[in-house]
């Protein structure tokens, strides 16, 4: 299959191209498209054959459910059994935006789209091209991130193309994404709302709208005995090809430790990389040093992380060390993804 790549500027949306993209979805094909979080791989959410194609194109296990993207609030009622009060309040504040809600699904949504679950994940993105595309596609676009399974989520159309060219009909290139991390997922089907995946919309933000909100225990720890409630979280994700280890502790100890390891690997002719904050990155003796941005701005690394991981792959880096990036806000989501990329390999220094 030849994949058509089209550029669309968010501020000057070409309606004819959007119509063609929508037509591909309506006739059962797949289109990758930009959102404010990461690029999505879209298919018709109400067509079981389309969802099967998404799993196949991604190489994704079919028990890992897809997020259904809608473009207007009125679209929600057809795909869920009921709309709880919490969903109304969250939508008023955070939709369109990087928040996915888990709700009871209606019979309209095929089991293929929800990985066999009775619940459905729904999000209304804020990206204007995404909204126009979803409307043109019939209003319900199932879309996981547009990467091959196990690869970092794509933040540029170039990365979608690396992973999926030849496997899908079209890629809409909308340039760099705004946020760079996948949406926050909150489950509204089990009494107290539960965060299944952290993201830009933090627990504090959700609690200011809803009152008490819980967090799935598997978000930051590697408790292999516990099954995460978002099935996708159980798979090794976002993994670079090189071996990534996070080093935490007092800054000087971290820098000294990492440099000692780098020197050792150099004698073994291994290509090395480091992810560090703006303030410390120049202190490292790695072959490839990546600036994760200022520690004062937790969203800086969020925007860059997946790109950095892919660049390590492109440069065939074999051994990677990362400073630890904890934070109260989106920093928690960044750390969640970094820990997954590292397979929870962390060394804590005193």
Where does this chain bind ligand AMP (CB under 6 A)? 64-65, 67, 102, 114, 117, 119-121, 144-145, 182, 185, 196, 229-233
Tokens of 92: 């008023």
CB of 2 to ligand AMP, least distance (A): 25
CB of 164 to Mg ion, least distance (A): 13
Instruction: Give the Cα separation of 104 and 334 in Å (integer).
Output: 29
- Cα 19 to Cα 13, 22, 24, 86: the distances in Å are 11, 5, 9, 34
Tell me whether residue 41 or residue 247 sits nearer to ligand AMP (CB atom): 41
Partner from Mg ion, ligand AMP, none binding residue 231, C-beta < 5-8 Å depending on class: ligand AMP
| Residue with smallest beta-carbon separation from Mg ion | 145
* The dihedral formed by the CA atoms of 153, 154, 159 and 165, expressed in degrees to the nearest 10: 80
CB of 234 to ligand AMP, least distance (A): 8
Is 320 in a helix, a strand, or coil? Answer: strand
CB of 65 to ligand AMP, least distance (A): 3
Tell me whether residue 199 or residue 242 sits nearer to ligand AMP (CB atom): 199
CB of 52 to Mg ion, least distance (A): 17
Tell me whether residue 233 or residue 330 sits nearer to Mg ion (CB atom): 233
Tell me whether residue 120 or residue 136 sits nearer to ligand AMP (CB atom): 120
Partner from ligand AMP, Mg ion, none binding residue 218, C-beta < 5-8 Å depending on class: none
Strand (E) or helix (H) holding 101:
strand 99-104
Contact between 102 and 206 under an 8 Å Cβ cutoff? The reply is no
Tokens of 15: 């309606």
* The dihedral formed by the CA atoms of 326, 37, 145 and 109, expressed in degrees to the nearest 10: 120
| Residue with smallest beta-carbon separation from ligand AMP | 232
Is 202 in a helix, a strand, or coil? Answer: coil
Cis ω before 73 (30° cut-off from 0): no
Residues binding Mg ion (CB under 5 A): 145
Partner from ligand AMP, Mg ion, none binding residue 343, C-beta < 5-8 Å depending on class: none
């Amino acid at each position: 299959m030849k994949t058509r790549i089209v550029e669309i500027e968010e501020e000057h949306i070409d309606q004819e191209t959007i119509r063609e993209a929508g037509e591909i979805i309506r006739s059962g094909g797949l289109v990758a498209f930009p959102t404010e979080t990461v690029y999505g791989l879209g298919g018709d959410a109400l067509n079981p054959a389309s969802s099967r194609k998404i799993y196949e194109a991604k190489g994704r296990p079919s028990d890992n459910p897809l997020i259904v993207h809608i473009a207007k609030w009125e679209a929600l009622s057809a795909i869920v059994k009921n709309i709880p009060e919490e969903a109304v309040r969250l939508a008023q504040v955070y939709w369109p935006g990087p928040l996915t809600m888990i709700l009871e699904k209606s019979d309209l949504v095929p089991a293929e789209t929800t990985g066999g679950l009775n619940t459905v994940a729904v999000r209304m993105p804020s990206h204007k091209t995404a909204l126009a595309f979803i409307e043109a596609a019939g209003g319900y676009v199932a879309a996981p991130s547009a990467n091959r399974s196990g690869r970092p989520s794509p933040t540029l159309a170039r990365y979608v193309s690396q992973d999926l060219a030849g496997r899908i009909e079209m890629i809409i290139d909308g340039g760099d994404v705004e946020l760079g991390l996948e949406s926050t997922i909150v489950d509204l089907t089990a009494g107290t709302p539960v965060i299944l995946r952290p993201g830009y919309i933090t627990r504090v933000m959700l609690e200011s709208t809803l009152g008490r909100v819980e967090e799935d225990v598997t978000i930051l720890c590697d408790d292999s005995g516990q099954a995460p409630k978002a099935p996708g979280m159980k798979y090794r994700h976002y993994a670079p090809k090189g071996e990534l280890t996070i080093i935490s502790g007092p800054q000087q100890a971290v820098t000294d430790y990492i440099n000692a390891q780098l020197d050792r690997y150099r004698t073994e002719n291994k290509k090395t990389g480091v992810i560090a904050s703006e303030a410390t990155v120049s202190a490292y003796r790695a072959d490839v040093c990546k600036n994760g941005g200022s520690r004062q701005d937790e969203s800086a690394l969020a925007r860059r992380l997946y790109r950095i991981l892919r660049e390590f792959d492109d440069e065939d880096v074999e051994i990677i060390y990362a400073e630890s990036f904890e934070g109260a806000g989106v920093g928690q989501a960044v750390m969640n993804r970094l820990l997954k990329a590292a397979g929870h390999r962390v060394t804590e220094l005193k």
